[in-house]
Amino acid sequence: MARTNSRNTKGVRRQARAQGTSRKVNSARRKGQSILGRMLGMLPFTEEQLQKAFTVVILGVALLGLGWLAQVSGATAVAADRFAHVASNAGFKLRAVNVQGTQRMNEMLVHERAFGQRDLAMTRVDTEGLREELLQLPWVEDARVSRQLPDVLKVDIVERQPHAVLRKADRLMLIDPTGVELEPISRSDAAEYLLIEGPAAQGQVEALDALLDAAPALKGKVTGAEWVGNRRWNLTFDTGQRLALPQGEDRSAAALISFAQADGVHRLIGGEVASFDMRNPPRMYMHVPGRSEAQELSMQAQQQSGERGEET
């Protein structure tokens, strides 16, 4: 009988301990749920809205997963091919290219690249890729490519503007205001443009424009510009006379302005002087054909004699 009682006592104790553990677990669970409930209650959403949001997130993740699986398995490409085939059969196939904005460049260059997309379904035409290809053409400053359904590709071209002629070792090249080469040009056709020459002159085109803008009265008379020693300009006027300027943007601009003022007073351009040297401003040395080098006059001396003549 004593053994039986001992076993019953141990069973009762184990049952009590189990019940105590269960109560602790339930209490902790209720406490956790209470904290979570309070945290959720602080959010500006209802429980129904939160459930909908969680549902959307779960569906989004599922769709991304399916899209990734489709891409890996090749299903996306198959679907795109199928769609392009259907569109082509329905008449949505590239058949014509409408080019606008070309005035000087050869329009066939645009057609050659655009019709590289020929017989493609309009859904397959790579408009951005074609635009990037067109931007590689010398005359094209910008381009816009768009589809005109069902079968036309529209190409709008912004051309570069011809600005001057660059003398190279073997040919003359038409260039734009930034120095970009556009196309070769004949000597006769080049006569209407400013001729630029000299090593590294191509990179100085914009600087030359700024220099000539400093003396607007002379700009239209300048027909040639030589970049000398990668540091300064020699300008040639339509009379064939040449002006040597000093180096440095500010000094050369100041010298050109001074020459323009002297020309306005003494009519230097078109006179007997063949060349002017202003490399050491404010003095200007002039060379007259037939006179020895020792007899060359300075502009300063000429101005002084002119002033004395006015006084008398």
Which residue is listed with tokens 């459930």?
51
Token digits of residue 64? 């991304």
pTM of the predicted model, to two decimals? 0.64
pLDDT interval class at 309 (50, 70, 90): very low
Which tens digit of pLDDT belongs to each residue from 114-128?
A: 877 555 677 778 889
Which tens digit of pLDDT belongs to each residue from 25-58?
A: 555 555 555 565 555 555 555 666 656 566 656 6
Mean pLDDT value of segment 151-162 = 93
- Residue 293 main-chain phi, psi, to 5 deg: -60, -35
* Whether 245 contacts 235, CB under 8 Å: yes
Does residue 1 have a pLDDT over 70?
A: no
Does residue 209 have a pLDDT over 70?
A: yes
How far is 39 from 42, CA to CA, in rounded Å? 5
The helix (H) or strand (E) run that includes residue 224 is strand 222-228
Burial class (CB in 10 A: 0-12, 13-18, 19+), 209: middle
Q: Which amino acid is at 260?
A: A
How far is 36 from 40, CA to CA, in rounded Å? 6
Per the document, the length of the chain is: 312
pLDDT of residue 310: 41
pLDDT of residue 304: 47
* Whether 155 contacts 143, CB under 8 Å: yes
**80 DSSP assignment:** H
Q: Which amino acid is at 36?
A: L
How far is 41 from 59, CA to CA, in rounded Å? 25
How far is 40 from 58, CA to CA, in rounded Å? 19
Does residue 241 have a pLDDT over 50?
A: yes
How far is 309 from 99, CA to CA, in rounded Å? 67
- Residue 195 main-chain phi, psi, to 5 deg: -95, 120
Of 294 and 231, the one with more pLDDT: 231
Which tens digit of pLDDT belongs to each residue from 268-289?
A: 999 999 999 999 988 899 998 8
* Whether 210 contacts 235, CB under 8 Å: no
Contacts of 252 (CB under 8 A, 6+ apart): 211, 232, 233, 245, 246
How far is 86 from 50, CA to CA, in rounded Å? 42
